[in-house]
Amino acid sequence: MHRVPSAGNNSNSSRPRKEKRLTYVLNDSDDTKHSAGINCLAVLKSSISDGCNYLFTGSRDGTLKRWALGADAATCSATFESHVDWVNDTVIAGENTLVSCSSDTTLKTWNCLSDGTCTRTLRKHSDYVTCLAAAEKNKNVVASGGLGGEVFVWDIEAAVTPLSKSTDVMEDDCSNGINGSANSLPISSSSLRTISSNNSLTAHTTQCHGYVPIAAKGHKESVYALAMNDSGSLLVSGGTEKVVRVWDPRTGSKTMKLRGHTDNVRALLLDATGRYCLSGSSDSMIRLWDLGQQRCVHSYAVHTDSVWALASTPAFTHVYSGGRDLSLYLTDLTTRESILLCTKEHPILQLALHDDSIWVATTDSSVHRWSAEGRNPLKVFQRGGSFLAGNLSFSRARISLEGSTPAAVYEEPIFSIPGTPAIVQHEILNNRRHVLTKDTAGSVKLWEITRGVVIEDYGQVSFDEKKEQLFEMVSIPAWFTVDTRLGSLSVHLDTPQCFSAEMYSADLNITGKPEDDKVNLARETLKGLLTHWMTKRRQRLGSQASANGDVLSGKDSTARSLAHSRIEVDGNVENDSVVHPPFEFSSGSPPSIITEGSQGGPWRKKITELDGTEDEKDFPWWVLDCVLNNRIPPRENAKCSFYIHPYEGTAVQILTQGKLSAPRILRIHKVVNYVIEKMVLDKPIDTANTDGSFAPGLGVQLQHSAIGDGSFRSGLKPRSKLRPSVEILCNNQVLSPDMSLATVRAYIWKKPEDLRRAGLFQDIKVEIAYCCKVFGIVFCACLCPTSEKKQ
């Protein structure tokens, strides 16, 4: 498992603290399919003969799903969404409590039979939490391990119902990790088996820190695998230290250390009594350990690559194994006879035995159920094709002599639960609204991220060719970033960078607004994302809250005043709550928000599930101030400076000696209008406003030397019916009227190879030349940087 930054903020970073980020995750399909690899499986069997059995799957898309199992089909009955990064493992504790762990460094507990409600978030690990283990009989006991080398043993009942609350150990979360929700489902003590007096865990509690799990200290490196016996009296762990450690989970004390593997230990199993242990390793070996004798009694060279998953029969007589070599094997632990059950197209990550079948999870987003004869595995060996799982050299010799792996017993699974192909490649287009993606099926799609929808599905075409076809010569600031770590597009907004991009309402085809109105893309996107939350909030607060002007609906006036001190009003002070069509998100496949406020840590929830109670404890202050108060932070480099000079050799007089400044998004046709009005048409130059802005609607402002009355061609007679034709040139290239100043600056003034040199273009000030055809006389001009301007 590679250490990759998660979508939430990293509180352990040594860098200067940044403002909290807001991320939204886009979905192209319905909510009944995973969109990334399946890391973990858990089967919940009904205690009633005719009751429904359930399969729980945890995915790299950050969610868990509950599947109601039929004879030859499975139906998604709930999605458990709260983790903000990969779900790495899950176990069932008690009769209806699901425990999951994630790369977001947390454990979460859920009511198995709920609609996806998270009942508690447990925070104790310092790094990714990679594995869990539960005791079959003492189901309150759950152990967790992670990349930080930490192993903790939790009493789930005590952790879920602590004596006192601890903000650094646990948070009173609902499904999105938000504090104080009225929708959290309590877990009754009757639903969790108590630990017997002989196997009791000591509940370390203090008045100020609440419940603290037992720490099994000893690992110096990452932990990848855990296993526990039925009574919860024995715990084994393994990881990058290449040894199997044995613990007493009741005290956290070390019992023994087993050596033999030559690479990372990736999978572990304990029999019901705790005498025998099975381990799978990246050295491709499976080893059987006798813990009473403290030695390895058998080794099985079955696989040709890393072993990542193990599952045993109830009697611990046979083991199913899978891993990086894409193969699923069944091995008799006594006779060492092994047989290939099936081969997959993707590495196998986890196995779950279910009666006479076995569930197989891989790096693909689909889950498959294969026949396994779990009740009587000898039936499989009667088919023939087995081999002796000898030592490693024997296995390598067998593969070399046979030239290929054995023939698989099964060619097709009993049935499959399909997933959505994960996005593996993406490119942000120059217009900064569209993202081109390619998924594992080879399908290329075009997304509009301000609406969260696919606007074009190109099918299986060349990604690079399509990217070239969609190239536009436009320059818009990078106001968001994207990653596909969760198998979907995750769009990240960070302040103040996200507020740097603007477009005219006419360019966005927004009706009902003047075409010259500037639209801030991030602000409108945030309004679109939180429109459901705003509706719920208005319903909750009513007219009284609207009248008293309460901005953040919180009680912390200090935080409120701090927020106000760091913002400035952008445009109209009044809150424009209208969401325009280019920023309306789909309610059929709503995106999920990942963010955090002043308390509680990162959380994740669909935008349609926000209930309006969320405030500054849950959202970043800058998000609330943007959405509620229409205010955004100050922006840098919002304008572009330039000069207007006649083309060399023409007799056209200079319009102005001063440097002009205009918004980066100003179109060249606005400059054309400025040239016409100031040089050709009979308009006095003193019509300029006192603030230096010319020609209402042009957005051009004089920065340096003022233009006197004598600088305008006062002798030119008004000819309102004869509008001259004007062309603007830069580097002797005629500019399209639809180009913006930013585009000219990025693509015309400097060549692309020059722009690749960092920082070269940031301080360039350009002067835009013009070519005027006035009553049959053609005048042209040139362009040069400010530093080269001839005085």
Render pLDDT for 44-90 as a digit per residue (tens, 0 to 9): 988 765 578 999 999 999 999 999 998 888 999 999 999 999 999 99
Q: Among 632, 667, 696, give the residue marking a domain's end.
A: 632
Nearest Cα residue to 306 out of 402, 245, 224? 224
> Which range, 325-334, 397-406, 727-736, is most confident?
325-334
Give me the amino acid identity at 359: W
Identify whether 310 is part of a domain.
no
Q: What are phi and psi of 647, to 5 degrees?
A: -70, 145
How many other CB atoms sit within 10 Å of the CB of residue 753? 7
- Cα 732 from Cα 725, distance rounded (Å): 17
Same domain, 622 and 694: no
Q: Among 259, 279, 300, give the residue marking a domain's end.
A: 259
Average pLDDT of span 6-31: 69
Identify whether 11 is part of a domain.
no
Same domain, 222 and 250: yes
- As for how many domains the chain has, the answer is 3
> If pLDDT is split at 50, 70 and 90, which confidence band does 579 have?
confident
Same domain, 111 and 198: yes
Same domain, 623 and 577: yes
For residue 320, is pLDDT > 60? yes
The pLDDT tens digits for 416-450 are 999 999 999 999 999 999 999 999 999 999 999 99
Identify whether 477 is part of a domain.
yes
- Cα 467 from Cα 465, distance rounded (Å): 5
Between these two residues, 105 and 659, which has the higher pLDDT value?
Answer: 105
Between these two residues, 622 and 195, which has the higher pLDDT value?
Answer: 622
Weakest-pLDDT range from 347-356, 591-600, 633-642: 633-642
Tokens describing residue 629: 């108060």
Same domain, 699 and 747: yes
pLDDT, position 652: 63
362 HSE (CA, 13 A, CB side): 27
> Measured between alpha carbons, how far is residue 358 from residues 88, 347, 352, 373, 384 in Å?
19, 16, 6, 9, 20
How many other CB atoms sit within 10 Å of the CB of residue 437? 22
Could you give the 3-state DSSP secondary structure of residue 517?
coil
* Contact (Cβ atoms closer than 8 angstroms) between residue 211 and residue 205: yes
pLDDT, position 164: 42
Same domain, 507 and 532: yes
Could you give the 3-state DSSP secondary structure of residue 131?
strand
- Cα 379 from Cα 376, distance rounded (Å): 6
Residue environment code for 38-77, b if the CB has 16+ CB neighbours within 10 A, otherwise e? bbbbbbbeeeeeeeeebbbbbbbbbbbbbbebeeeebebe
Average pLDDT of span 2-15: 48
pLDDT, position 653: 64
> If pLDDT is split at 50, 70 and 90, which confidence band does 637 have?
low
Nearest Cα residue to 463 out of 483, 432, 439, 434? 439
Strand partners, 120: 109
Identify whether 756 is part of a domain.
yes
pLDDT, position 237: 97
Same domain, 216 and 137: yes
Same domain, 617 and 704: no
Domain range enclosing 171: 38-259
Question: Which three-class secondary structure string do you get for 41-105?
Answer: EEEECCCCCCCCEEEEEEECCCEEEEEEECCCCEEEEEEEECCCCCEEEEEEECCCEEEEEECCC
- Cα 528 from Cα 494, distance rounded (Å): 17
Average pLDDT of span 340-364: 95
Q: Among 259, 280, 306, give the residue marking a domain's end.
A: 259
Instruction: Please give the full DSSP string across 323-341, using - where no structure is assigned.
Output: ETTSEEEEEETTT-EEEEE
Identify whether 304 is part of a domain.
no
Identify whether 568 is part of a domain.
yes
Average pLDDT of span 269-293: 95
Same domain, 79 and 215: yes
Same domain, 529 and 673: no
pLDDT, position 398: 53
pLDDT, position 651: 62
Percent of the chain with pLDDT over 70: 72
Strand partners, 299: 287
pLDDT, position 679: 64
pLDDT, position 778: 35
Identify whether 283 is part of a domain.
no
Identify whether 508 is part of a domain.
yes
Between these two residues, 2 and 361, which has the higher pLDDT value?
Answer: 361
pLDDT, position 290: 96
Q: What is the pTM of this model?
A: 0.81
Same domain, 704 and 601: no
Q: What is the largest CA-CA distance in the chain?
A: 109
Same domain, 667 and 531: no
Average pLDDT of span 642-646: 76
Give me the amino acid identity at 758: A
Give me the amino acid identity at 418: P
- Cα 657 from Cα 648, distance rounded (Å): 15
Average pLDDT of span 252-270: 96
CATH number where 51 lies = 2.130.10.10
pLDDT, position 180: 37
Phi-psi region of 607 (alpha: psi -120 to 50; beta: other; left: phi over 0): alpha
Residues 6+ apart with CB under 8 A from 723: 676
